[in-house]
Amino acid sequence: MEPAGQAPSGGAATMEVTSTPTGPGVDVSDVWRFFGSFPALGGMSFTAPYGQVTALVGPNGAGKTTLLLILASLLKPHRGRVLVAGCDPTVDPAGVRAVTGWMPDTFGVYDQLTVREYLRFFGQAYKLGRAMLAARVTELLDLVHLTEYVDQPVHVLSRGQKQRLALTRALVHRPRVLLLDEPASGLDPRSRVELRDILRDLAAQGTAVLVSSHILAELEEIADRVVLVAGGRTVGEYAMADLRAQARRAYRVRALDPDALNRTLRDQGIAHSTVDGAVELAELTEEQAAQTLAGLVAAGVGVVAFEPLGSDLESVYLAMTEERR
Amino acid sequence: MMNPAHVWLVVAQEFRIRLRTGRWRWLLGAWLVLLALFTLLLDFGLKTGDSYLPDHSLRGIPLFGFLMLFVLGSMLIISPALTAQTINGDRERGTLATLQVTRLRPAEIALGKLLAGWSVGLVALALSIPFAGYAMTQGGLTIGRVAAVYGVVALLIGTVCAVSQALSALLARSITSALLSYVVTMTLAVGTLVAFALALPLTEERVVAVNPDGHRYTVNLSHPERVWWLLAPNPFVIVADAAPRVPPRVSGTGIESYDPLSLIGNDVRQLRSPQGWFVYTSGSLPDSEDKPVWPYGLGFSVLLGAGSVLVTIRRLRTPTDRLPRGVRVA
């Protein structure tokens, strides 16, 4: 572990937080951004608090990447205001950069460098001291399991490994705010689990993590909060737990006696259909599902399987984007 | 505003990447062979043309002159390639934005990349020094003349690199900026000559001239002193004219008429004086004042280079408001 109180870091990877940050890590209020006359962002607003992983979820073209570019101090918003760690990137980009880590969705790495050289370069570009940099490089490569590649050229890394290397680049200066654009895309399941663990750890240490994706299920286990966006606007902001509670989804039911099952459902007035020989119930909340199951059991139906179909979050997401039309 | 250590960080990074991508050893080796071949043949040519050279002991002067024109011409071909893709190429590879979000300033990134490209050019230039050294052994050359010419060529390489880099910062596609860099370089090297040749007839005036026998007649007289500046930005003109004049002791031998640098330098200086044709015919030759052209050319060149660096810095500044068509920030 590094000595605490290292320059601009807020102690992202150490438990000691040098200054208690006030306000949210990311504060976006009514942000507009046009490309030509097309509004890529049309009044997006949300916050991403410290110590939590916030998922920014929406279909392709919802404005997620544009927003992250604004937060990363690369693009100016045309209207509205964003604050990253309390700094306005249009006014004080240097202040934002010192405390923000950003990983774009598509990025290049310097193929000719070794993994160590790559990280050292960015460490120096973030003004880390030489002595602490060497330790930081070791620590980060250990974190993403790339230690054995330290002296390998970057081009021998696989796609997933490059993604992990890019994550270490974004983390090299211990940012208090971490912005990741589609980090889970193209990762194998194992890498995804590792990414989840890393992000959960960072959040636990007080970092504000903002992760974008167009697949809600991808972030189901990573995020504490979900910001749904579509067409450049915020559609809703939810705690992941609330979202699960109100999620409706279809259930598949199997019983010892399919006829009895069908009959009972008909008698109890529960909408259902038969798909490939199995009975499927129309979309239910978790509470409705529990009641239905209790009803079936009470009626003496020998239920052998009662399983939800698909991700619960996917259905919320589909419903949200449905409403928009 | 700018931290030299950070500029150096970018220079070192660029250098490392360049060294590991290109086949530098082969390219520089080929350049060395080309230089050797050129010098060898040139030397041979001047030796066999011995009878024409007024003084064999001054053979170093024309040898160096031709060599440096060849070196300059080659550097004008090499230099745009060194920086014409540094900014938009990085953008295409997706490595620019990650650099811009670090704590490096735009000026540090711009200068670092420029210095890296420029120094590759300087390495290529330095490879010609042994051949210039050989020319020095052939007599007539002063170290001052050699140093001045090398200094000016080095500066011109920097200008071309800076302009090419600015184009790569301005244009979205690296292939476009590479092409345009060559257009700009060719404009300086050839376009200025064409412009001068086209502008000269526009300065023509009908004047009345008097023969020594008193016979009066009208004649078209052009005024190169009004358009000489079109030639000033020409790199060949700058280098030739910036080369110190050969000392009178030497110029008395007529060796100058075999040295391309002296020839070009004298010619452009004469263009600045009003043409004496009709004055000549009326019996008196005007004093050809020694008005150098190179300070204007070099000044223009330095301004062009500095302006290009500023443009590059501006384009690297983030957050940006406008994006060039078809550019993704990341």
Give pLDDT, residue A215. 81
Q: Write phi, then psi, for A220 (nearest 5 degrees).
A: -55, -40
* Lowest mean pLDDT, pick from A7-16, A235-244, A272-281, A296-305: A7-16
Residue A173: pLDDT band by 50, 70, 90 thresholds? Answer: very high
Amino acid letter at A155?
A: H
Nearest to B98 among A69, A100, A169 (CB): A169
**Alpha helices per DSSP H over chain B:** 4-21, 24-48, 60-83, 86-93, 96-100, 106-126, 129-137, 143-170, 174-186, 192-199, 224-227, 235-242, 248-251, 260-272, 277-281, 294-316
ipTM: 0.86
Residue B49: pLDDT band by 50, 70, 90 thresholds? Answer: low
Give pLDDT, residue B317. 94
Mind listing the pLDDT tens digit for each residue in B222-240? 888 899 999 999 999 999 9
Distance from C-alpha of A106 to C-alpha of A162, rounded to nearest angstrom: 11
pLDDT at A14 over 50: no
Amino acid letter at A263?
A: R
CA dihedral (B64, B65, B67, B68) in degrees, to 10, reads 110
The CB density around residue A85, as the number of other CB atoms within 10 Å, is 21
The model's pTM: 0.85
Distance from C-alpha of A157 to C-alpha of A147, rounded to nearest angstrom: 12
Distance from C-alpha of A69 to C-alpha of B318, rounded to nearest angstrom: 10
> How many A×B Cβ pairs under 8 Å?
83
Coil, helix or strand at residue B150: helix
Give pLDDT, residue B180. 97
Give pLDDT, residue A325. 43
Mind listing the pLDDT tens digit for each residue in A180-222? 999 988 778 888 888 999 999 999 999 999 999 888 777 888 8
Residue B164 lies in a domain: yes
Architecture of domain A247-324: 2-Layer Sandwich (3.30)
Task: State how far the alpha carbon of A78 is from the alpha carbons of A29, A43, A241, A265, in Å.
Answer: 12, 10, 34, 56
Amino acid letter at B91?
A: R
B318 to A73: CB separation less than 8 angstroms, yes or no: yes
Distance from C-alpha of A171 to C-alpha of A71, rounded to nearest angstrom: 16
pLDDT at A312 over 80: no
Q: Which of residues 16 through 75 in chain B touch A, CB cutoff 8 A?
A: 16-17, 20-21
CATH no. of A26-244: 3.40.50.300
Q: Cβ contacts of residue A106 below 8 Å, gap of 6+?
A: B94, B330
pLDDT at A2 over 80: no
pLDDT at B329 over 60: no
Give pLDDT, residue A258. 86
Give pLDDT, residue A286. 79
B17 to A124: CB separation less than 8 angstroms, yes or no: no
A124 to B318: CB separation less than 8 angstroms, yes or no: no
Nearest to B20 among A89, A100, A112 (CB): A112
Give pLDDT, residue B135. 95
Instruction: Map out the domains of chain A as residue ranges.
Output: 26-244, 247-324
Residue B147 has which token pair? 């140093």
Q: Give chain A positions within 8 Å (CB) of B93.
A: 108
Distance from C-alpha of A200 to C-alpha of B205, rounded to nearest angstrom: 84
Average pLDDT of A261-282?
84
Give pLDDT, residue B306. 98
pLDDT at B254 over 50: yes
Distance from C-alpha of A146 to C-alpha of A119, rounded to nearest angstrom: 12
Structure letter (DSSP) for residue A176: S
Residue that is written with structure tokens 């210039």 in the block = B132
Residue A315: pLDDT band by 50, 70, 90 thresholds? Answer: low
Residue B321 lies in a domain: no
Give pLDDT, residue A1. 38
B318 to A93: CB separation less than 8 angstroms, yes or no: yes
B319 to A90: CB separation less than 8 angstroms, yes or no: yes
Residue A319 has which token pair? 């419903």
pLDDT at A7 over 70: no
Distance from C-alpha of B102 to C-alpha of B97, rounded to nearest angstrom: 9
Residue B136 lies in a domain: yes
Instruction: Give me the domain span that covers residue B209.
Output: 4-316
Mind listing the pLDDT tens digit for each residue in B211-226? 777 788 887 888 888 9
Question: How many domains does chain B fold into?
Answer: 1
Residue B178 lies in a domain: yes
Q: Give chain A positions within 8 Å (CB) of B321.
A: 76
Are the CB atoms for A218 and A182 separated by under 8 Å? no
Give pLDDT, residue A271. 84
Residue A6: pLDDT band by 50, 70, 90 thresholds? Answer: very low
Pairing of strands A249-255, A278-284: antiparallel
Q: By the CB < 8 Å criterion, does A97 face chain B?
A: yes
Residue B330 lies in a domain: no
B92: closest chain A residue by CA:
A108
Mind listing the pLDDT tens digit for each residue in B53-75? 777 788 899 999 999 999 999 99
Mind listing the pLDDT tens digit for each residue in B258-311? 899 999 998 898 888 776 554 444 444 455 567 899 999 999 999 999 999 999
**Alpha helices per DSSP H over A110-232:** 115-125, 130-143, 159-171, 189-204
Question: Are the folds of A26-244 and A247-324 the same?
Answer: no
Residue A45 has which token pair? 């607003």
Residue B78 lies in a domain: yes
Q: What is the residue-averaged pLDDT of chain A?
A: 86
Mind listing the pLDDT tens digit for each residue in B81-130? 999 999 999 998 889 999 999 999 999 999 999 999 999 999 999 999 99
B94 to A169: CB separation less than 8 angstroms, yes or no: no
